[in-house]
Amino acid sequence: MKKLVKIIKENHLIIDVLNVLLGLVLIVTVVLFCMFPGNKIVIGLMILLSGFMNIGNGIKRYQSKRTRGTGMALMTVGACILIIGIYILNLL
């Protein structure tokens, strides 16, 4: 386990690991939505998770000088998605 943590820290993969974990949770929420289609909390959670994933991808792209504009766009879209998710959850 220590070796895995060392590899993640040395290669700056923490954002990628976080993105994979968010993706797994998103898959679980999609399965929950398929099981309970009328549940608005699951829809809001799916939207929030996708917003956080966009922000994570934007941070990763922003760190490179070549793709800085794409990173800013992804973070902006992620923030908009988060706002929509929060709005949907407040409508409950």
Tens digits of residue pLDDT in 15-30: 888 889 999 999 999 9
Tens digits of residue pLDDT in 6-18: 777 777 778 888 8
In this prediction, residue 92 carries a pLDDT of: 60
Let me know how many helices (H) and strands (E) the chain has, helices first: 4, 0
Candidates 78, 50, 59; CA nearest to 12 is 59
Q: How many domains does the chain divide into?
A: 1
User: Dihedral of the CA atoms 89, 18, 35, 80 (nearest 10)?
Assistant: 30
**Enclosing domain of residue 23:** 2-90
